[in-house]
Amino acid sequence: MIHKTVLRGTDRNPAGNGAAGKKVVAGVKVAQEFSIDARTGVGAVHLGVTDGATAREFYTGPVGLTVLSDDGDEIVLGSGGKEVVVLHPGADRPVAQRTSGLYHLAIVLPSRRELARVIARLMRNRYPNSPTDHVMTKSDYLWDPDGNGIEIYAETPEDGVFGFADGQFVARDAQGRSRSGRDPIDLEALFGELQPGDRFDVPLPEEAHMGHVHLHIRDLQEAVDFYHGVIGFDVMGVADRWGAAFVSAGGYHHHLGLNTWAGQGAPQGPPTAAGLRRYTIEVADETALGAVTSRLHEAGIDVTEEPGAQVVRDPSGNRVHIQTRAAK
Ligand SMILES: [Fe+2]
């Protein structure tokens, strides 16, 4: 895996030892004291939207989620009975640009065939989308009507890997050859995965779930200090020149993407604008939740207890619910 090469390479860099007990990866100090439970992942993402009916139509139509409940104030959308996206109508304007918050939420599908179904549906509806070949994943990108970013993807590690080297995003195919990692998907090949009788107008499969969340943050070091140093995600790669870091649990390529592309020091958006209301970090059990909560307390970070969840804000103001997988 490329990221491991990067970390080893940085270890040997004598100029990289910026602080006692920490090593530096691509200009960012990285502590190596503990890892969050390997079964940790991300869960439901809550979004503010301007118009509930418009957003509901988008997320159930082009995206293909299913309505689990809708009381007018909160529209709960999911797949296989689990929450994936929760909409909160009533925002007074679309997503504010150049602010911290959501870059995109990312729903992972179980196969290329399911991704082909989604992209075919979007193409047929002429909904703007950008199918992109990240080698290790095949991803499609689109925006909801308020400007919330969405990625829908399938894992394709048999095609190669992506990672970080020399402060940049890099990708290699299965033969080890360098790839851009940003080429358009070969749609003819992808649509070749479709089977006779596959329908484009049925919901996402029940296995669809939140695979990762990519956040705009105001400072890379600060975000890594929080998500890695306190929460305990492993750093899978840091690219200071690219302005991004990937962190995860259990060796996944990334459960969280963190980037400064909205600007170094990006402020929080107006609370009444559309955008990220909160996202969810799901841990396996109460023991794992207790361990994370203790680290947050020890770090002097404000933690609010809500039913079933420990609630914190990251240093950029992004609200996070940390909860066990079984809890709602
Ligand atoms: Fe992503």
- In the chain, the amino acid numbered 284 is A
Residue ranges per domain, the chain? 38-324
Residue 11 has pLDDT above 50, yes or no: no
C-alpha of residue 96 to centroid of ligand 1, in Å: 20
List, as ranges, residues with CB under 5 A of the ion ligand 1. 106, 151, 214
Query: How far does the centroid of ligand 1 lie from the alpha carbon of residue 172, in Å?
Result: 18
Model confidence band, residue 23 (pLDDT cutoffs 50, 70, 90):
confident
pLDDT at 6: 34
CA of 109 to the centre of ligand 1 (A): 13
pLDDT digits (tens, 9 = 90+) for 102-161: 999 999 999 999 999 999 999 999 999 999 999 999 999 999 999 999 999 999 999 999
pLDDT number for residue 17: 31
Per-residue pLDDT, 51 = 98
pTM attached to this predicted model: 0.92
Q: What is the pLDDT of residue 116?
A: 98
CA of 214 to the centre of ligand 1 (A): 6
pLDDT, tens only, 174-221? 999 999 999 999 999 999 999 999 999 999 999 999 999 999 999 999
Greatest mean pLDDT among 165-169, 195-199, 239-243 lies in 195-199
Asked whether residue 20 carries a pLDDT value surpassing 50, the answer given is no
Nearest to 225 by CA among 161, 296, 154: 296
Q: List the one residue out of 191, 138, 188, 140 whose CA is nearest residue 162.
A: 138
Distance (Å) of CA 225 to CA 2, 35, 38, 155, 233: 22, 13, 19, 28, 10
Look at residue 21 and tell me whether its pLDDT is greater than 80. no
Percent of the chain with pLDDT over 90: 84
Residue 10 reports pLDDT greater than 50: no
Give the model's pLDDT for residue 22. Answer: 65
Query: According to the model, what pLDDT value does residue 322 have?
Result: 98
User: pLDDT per residue over 254-283, tens digit each?
Assistant: 999 999 999 999 999 999 999 999 999 999
Cα 196 to ligand 1 centre (Å): 30
Q: State both tokens at 72.
A: 């007018």
pLDDT of residue 29: 79
Range of 28-42, 166-180, 209-223 with top mean pLDDT: 209-223
**In this model, does residue 5 exceed pLDDT 70?**
no
Mean pLDDT (whole number) for 66-76: 97
175 Cα: distance to centroid of ligand 1 (angstroms): 24
Span from the CA of 72 to the centroid of ligand 1 (angstroms): 29
CA of 17 to the centre of ligand 1 (A): 30
Can you identify the CATH homologous superfamily of domain 38-324?
Answer: 2,3-Dihydroxybiphenyl 1,2-Dioxygenase, domain 1 (3.10.180.10)
Gap from CA of 148 to ligand 1 centroid (Å): 13
Which range is least confidently modeled, 12-26, 75-89, 289-303, 314-328?
12-26
pLDDT at position 60, please?
Answer: 98
Average pLDDT taken over every residue of the chain: 91
